[in-house]
Amino acid sequence: MTVAGPLAHAGHGAAGPSWFPLFPVALLAVGYVLAAVRDPRGWDHRRTASWLVGCALLAVAVGPLAQLPDNPSGHMAQHLLLGMLAPLGLVLAAPVTLLLRIAPPPVRRAVGRLLRARPLHLLAHPFTATLLTTGGLALVLLTPLYAAAERQPVLHHAVHLHYLAAGYLFAWSLAGPDPAPRRPGLAVRVGALLAASAGHAVLAKYLYAKAETLPPGLTDRDPDAFRSAAQLMYYGGDLAELLLAAALFAAWYHSRRPRPRPSPPPPPSPSPSPPPLIKKFASPEGGSLTQTS
């Protein structure tokens, strides 16, 4: 069950790749495709592709398909895939919009109520999401949580689930095409992206600098392995930041497109205009970078 790599720890039960985590991923992929096919107005294929890419990245991260090495770099790659790259693909696929399109009215009303709930607005605020992603990562890497998760499979899976959920929340709060009532303006979201990225970069360099003692509580440690993991974290974080910034500003650019006639959407943007139910929640997209005109 465990990979007999040169760095495999004794009693490192959680890292053994099994086929089990692939089932929920496959369920997500199949469920989305079935829903997209049922959409009466025709679902944008690019969204479906984005969802499937996200699912594929999840599968790589958790499954035995592409076996990630059982060392700090392998764990870091898992973190990058689960917490940063896969969530962006999933978020850009607008699964809630799809659900609202195909679900019966009672479900739609329930989703609408949920989206109007105050606690959700608080949770989905970009800075709350920043705290959950980057703060959660700091908690794992700077406390004995990392060492504990190496020993206990349940904790290991819980940490991975947290990476995914927090990453999804973060990407949605910044750049999600799904309805997001009371979403703050562009400046706040860019500020949150800056804070999260800077925190991630500082954390990576700090780990690099303190590889002899961090993460704490490990019985056998290989500082060089943690240094290369820290570098992977730094540059992988850059990639995720780049993609997220592109998604964020592309949404802003799209929202500012000139509309000559109000009725039909222009042909170069075939992404479907949101149905009326969603329009009610749609955030005032963006604001502007400057007030000059």
Residues that bind another protein (CB under 8 A): 190, 193-194, 197-202, 205-206, 208-209, 231, 234, 238, 241-242, 245-246, 249-250, 252-253, 256-258, 289-290, 292-293
Give per-residue burial for 22-34: e unless 16+ CB within 10 Å, then b: beebeebbeebee
The least distance separating another protein from the CB of residue 210, rounded to whole angstroms, comes to 10
The residue among 68 and 203 lying less far from another protein, judged by its C-beta, is 203
The residue among 95 and 237 lying less far from another protein, judged by its C-beta, is 237
The least distance separating another protein from the CB of residue 43, rounded to whole angstroms, comes to 26
The least distance separating another protein from the CB of residue 131, rounded to whole angstroms, comes to 16
The least distance separating another protein from the CB of residue 123, rounded to whole angstroms, comes to 24
* Whole-Å CA distances, 60 to 64, 82, 103, 226, 259: 7, 9, 30, 21, 42
The residue among 133 and 197 lying less far from another protein, judged by its C-beta, is 197
* Whole-Å CA distances, 92 to 95, 136, 172, 243: 8, 23, 8, 11
The residue among 169 and 186 lying less far from another protein, judged by its C-beta, is 186
The residue among 6 and 291 lying less far from another protein, judged by its C-beta, is 291
Amino acid identity, position 58? L
Rounded-to-integer distance, Cα 211 and Cα 222, Å: 8
Helices (H), the chain: 22-38, 45-62, 72-80, 86-92, 95-102, 105-116, 118-123, 126-130, 136-142, 145-151, 153-175, 186-209, 223-255, 276-279
The least distance separating another protein from the CB of residue 242, rounded to whole angstroms, comes to 6
Report the 10 Å Cβ neighbour count for 151: 15
287: left (phi over 0), alpha (psi -120 to 50) or beta: left
The residue among 21 and 191 lying less far from another protein, judged by its C-beta, is 191
Rounded-to-integer distance, Cα 192 and Cα 188, Å: 6
The least distance separating another protein from the CB of residue 236, rounded to whole angstroms, comes to 13
The least distance separating another protein from the CB of residue 91, rounded to whole angstroms, comes to 17
